[in-house]
Amino acid sequence: MENKDDSNELLHMHKHLALEIREKRKRAAELDIANKELVFQNEEKEKRAAELILANIRLIFENKEKEKRAAELIIANKELVFQNEEKEKRAAELIIANEELLFQNKEKGKRAIELVVAYEELAYQNREKENRATELNLANIELIFQNLEKEQRAAELIIANKELAFQRDEKGKRAAELTIANKELLFQNEEKEKRAAELIVANLELAHQNQEKEKARQVKLKNERTLARAQKIAHVGSWELSFIDNILHLSEEACRIFGCPEGKTQLSFEDWATLVHHEDLDFVLQKIRESRESLTETAYFHRIIQRDGTIRHIYSESKFEFDQENKVVGLYGITQDVTGIKLAEEKIEFEKNNLASLINNTNDPIWSVDTDFKLITSNQAFIELMNKITGKIIAKGNNVLLKDLGEKQLGQYKKFYERAFSGETFSEIIYTESPAECCSEVSFYPIRKAELVIGTACYSHDITERMRADKEREKMSADIIQRSKNLEQFSFIVSHNLRSPVANILGISNVLKGKITETDRNKLQNYLFVAVEKLDLIVKDLNLILQARSEINDKKETVYLPDLVESIELGFQNLIEKEEVKIDADFSHLNSIITIKGYIYSIFYNLISNSIKYRQPGRSPEIFIKSDIQDGKIKISFKDKGIGIDLKKHGEKIFGLYERFHMNIEGRGLGLYMIKTQLEILKGSITVKSEPNVGTEFIIELPA
């Protein structure tokens, strides 16, 4: 039910995120409308400016009539001032609108962060559930230990019963000795006539013996009562079977065990056999036959059915009784009601099988270790994991700190076990690379006997997919924020850079519609051509940017870096010869990569071009290119000894669109922006190190 609630909560958060994205799109559309309105207002301004230019041209043309129209010109100038004030007000309103849009984007960023926090809270709740499940497993293991203790106590009770039976045998022997004494007394009485003189002495001795007998009888009765109480407490009854009359003599507790009516302490063997469970009768009779044939003691478990239909489990043990001539005259033994023990054993077996089924029905490894680092118990998942890592089958009693685990993992787990042996309950995130990349959350729970920690129970849960999902969510959130910033920057640059040429074209066009001199017309047409060329250049730049950011359709292929640099050198051949450019390329560690050739060519071309363009005056350019693989990633560095960049001043803007840092050198500020955009599409990155008048180094990093 909790998982369902969590899923509903996650679905609700996804809906909330979708709503926020729609709100972002709506606000972006509103921004687009505001930008269009601003362009329209600028167009109006440019129209009015064009009208002003036309008015001025007409004013020059009509200078001869200036005296007549002086008053009209003053009025026109006042109106122009008023219009300019209106334009400034509208520009201020647009600035306020843009600031409000920036504030809204910051709020979106905050909401994205809140969503990430909500995901982390959900992950924490799932870990809490897993911890509770592990605690339940630990409780079951403790219950098994308690049941084992009960079995040991039951075994001790059986031994005590056997000791009691042995004492009874001793009493029987003493009773036999008393019988012999009585026979001797009778023999003495037969000779009383001969021993008349000794009669008084004999009578006194007889009286004394009678007193001793009475004492012995009282002791016997007391012992029998004690035995009966002990038998009742231990649920152990005694019995004797005479082979002469085939009658079974039962003690009071034996009667209670067999369910006989009170006072009925004798049963025929046939009546007793009817009490044996029909499924166990053949087994019991076979045991008795084998015992009589071999004259050996016997012991066995079987069931009986009492008169009221109750089924009881009993344990029987018997010995043969011999007469003075060493002939078998009967059997005697004990019967113990072990129903409680049997039911407890069945319950323990059920719980043991249930627990084994439970822990083996999961792919998560579960195991327990004693303080000597030896395995107490485990599920199949743990055995398979250890076999996969070490190539060995670990069994109960084996040391779990196998050398095949590796030195790092061996030391790590030893510290964790020792923390648990100190009484600490904790969980740790463990990352392994072999035999496969895996991230696990391992929990340790001390096992206690009284106040002493005797081991630890361990539970491992694979959270690799969860960690990957968390990273993917973080990446998606960062991507959404970055895309929002890019959209904001792009819309601002587009509106800013397109405004000027479009306004110029509209203004000049309006002037050209009027009556002007041929000289002025030619001059304005030249201005118009320049504005159109500037607009065309901006549109081409925007098309190039949009094309780079569109979906990748080109297939990846093997690109040989020496051939790539040679191809670029051919394109710059005249410039290289003129400026005596030296390109030193070292591809000895890595001479080819698998990538999109068009993108990597553009990146190399722009970086080499920049190194040549921004060279030190009066000094031949030197470019050093080096490729390598480090930490599983491709790294390519471009280093020159050019004029450099002041990163303290321009570091945050270096990869921005239309950002220029050397105004004395021709450029549009598009190259580094395109390089960064193309590398992001290739899942790569670029960093820069630079110092003015020393040189610059760009470091490209791509996935291997």
Which range (15-29, 274-288, 432-446, 621-635) has the least confidence?
Answer: 15-29
**10 and 78 belong to one structural domain:** yes
Q: CB–CB of 429/466 below 8 Å?
A: no
151 occurs within a structural domain: yes
**6 and 111 belong to one structural domain:** yes
**24 and 148 belong to one structural domain:** yes
- Which of 107-116, 137-146, 291-300 is most confident? 291-300
Note the pLDDT tens digit of each residue in 367-383.
999 999 999 999 988 98
> Does residue 157 register a pLDDT over 80?
no
Q: Who wins on pLDDT, 698 or 533?
A: 698
* pLDDT average, residue stretch 414-437: 87
Nearest in space to 113 (alpha carbons), one of 478, 504, 565, 633: 478
> Does residue 663 register a pLDDT over 80?
no
- Which of 178-187, 273-282, 491-500, 672-681 is most confident? 273-282
Q: Who wins on pLDDT, 399 or 521?
A: 399
Angle at 395 (CA atoms; ends 393, 396), nearest 5 degrees: 165
Residue 260, classified by CB atoms within 10 Å of its CB into exposed (0-12), middle (13-18) or buried (19+), is: buried
**16 and 143 belong to one structural domain:** yes
357 occurs within a structural domain: no
Q: At what angle do helices 671-681 and 518-549 cross, to 10 degrees?
A: 20
Q: Who wins on pLDDT, 145 or 614?
A: 614
Helix (H), strand (E) at residue 630: strand 622-630
Q: How far is the C-alpha of 281 from the C-alpha of 105, rounded, in Å?
A: 88
Q: Who wins on pLDDT, 637 or 321?
A: 637
* pLDDT average, residue stretch 6-22: 66
Q: How far is the C-alpha of 318 from the C-alpha of 304, rounded, in Å?
A: 17
498 occurs within a structural domain: no
Which range (145-159, 270-284, 440-454, 607-621) has the least confidence?
Answer: 145-159
Torsion of CA 33, 39, 41, 44, to 10 degrees: -140
State which residues form the domain around 329: 209-344
**322 and 378 belong to one structural domain:** no
Q: Who wins on pLDDT, 558 or 73?
A: 558
628 occurs within a structural domain: yes
Q: How far is the C-alpha of 345 from the C-alpha of 495, rounded, in Å?
A: 84
pTM assigned to the model: 0.38
**333 and 255 belong to one structural domain:** yes
Helix (H), strand (E) at residue 495: helix 464-513
425 occurs within a structural domain: yes
Residue 551 has what pLDDT?
45
**161 and 64 belong to one structural domain:** yes
Residue 2 has what pLDDT?
47
CATH of the domain at 656: 3.30.565.10
Q: CB–CB of 112/477 below 8 Å?
A: yes
Note the pLDDT tens digit of each residue in 579-594.
889 999 999 999 999 9
Cα-flanking dihedrals φ and ψ of residue 108, to 5°? -60, -45
* DSSP track, 274-311: HHB-TTTHHHHHHHHHHHHHHT--EEEEEEEE-TTS-E
> What's the structural domain count of the chain?
4
% the chain with pLDDT above 90: 16
On average, the pLDDT of the chain sits at 78
**314 and 371 belong to one structural domain:** no
Residue 618 has what pLDDT?
84
> Euclidean distance between the first and final Cα of the chain, in Å?
45
Q: Who wins on pLDDT, 485 or 150?
A: 150
Q: Which residues on neighbouring strands pair with residue 461, listed in sequence order? A: 441
> Does residue 164 register a pLDDT over 70?
no
> Does residue 450 register a pLDDT over 70?
yes
CATH of the domain at 414: 3.30.450.20
Residue 587 has what pLDDT?
94
Q: Which two tokens stand for residue 587?
A: 């591809």
**576 and 683 belong to one structural domain:** yes
Q: CB–CB of 200/295 below 8 Å?
A: no
Note the pLDDT tens digit of each residue in 618-628.
888 999 999 99
* pLDDT average, residue stretch 299-318: 89
Residue where a domain stops, chosen among 130, 165, 200:
165
Using DSSP's 3-state secondary structure scheme, residue 255 falls into helix
**271 and 382 belong to one structural domain:** no
Nearest in space to 682 (alpha carbons), one of 581, 584, 602: 602
Nearest in space to 254 (alpha carbons), one of 269, 272, 237: 237
Confidence of residue 447 (pLDDT cuts 50, 70, 90): very high
Residue where a domain stops, chosen among 429, 462, 495:
462
> Does residue 557 register a pLDDT over 50?
yes
**Cis peptide leading into residue 435 (ω within 30°):** yes
Note the pLDDT tens digit of each residue in 511-549.
888 888 888 888 888 877 877 776 676 666 566 555 555
Q: How far is the C-alpha of 632 from the C-alpha of 385, rounded, in Å?
A: 27
Residue 505 has what pLDDT?
79
Which range (283-287, 312-316, 496-500, 649-653) has the least confidence?
Answer: 496-500
236 occurs within a structural domain: yes
* pLDDT average, residue stretch 7-25: 68
567 occurs within a structural domain: yes
**7 and 155 belong to one structural domain:** yes
Q: Who wins on pLDDT, 59 or 296?
A: 296
* pLDDT average, residue stretch 231-249: 78
Count the Cβ atoms, other than its own, within 10 Å of residue 180: 10
501 occurs within a structural domain: no
Q: Who wins on pLDDT, 687 or 63?
A: 687
Which range (94-108, 389-403, 453-467) has the least confidence?
Answer: 94-108
**287 and 368 belong to one structural domain:** no
Q: At what angle do helices 66-190 and 339-360 cross, to 10 degrees?
A: 150
Residue where a domain stops, chosen among 293, 313, 344:
344
- Helix, strand, coil percentages (3-state) for the chain, rounded to 5, are 65, 20, 20
Q: Who wins on pLDDT, 53 or 616?
A: 616
Q: E strands within 426-556?
A: 426-432, 438-449, 452-462
> Does residue 456 register a pLDDT over 80?
yes
Q: Which two tokens stand for residue 538?
A: 């901006």
Note the pLDDT tens digit of each residue in 192-227.
567 655 656 656 666 667 777 777 677 666 666 565
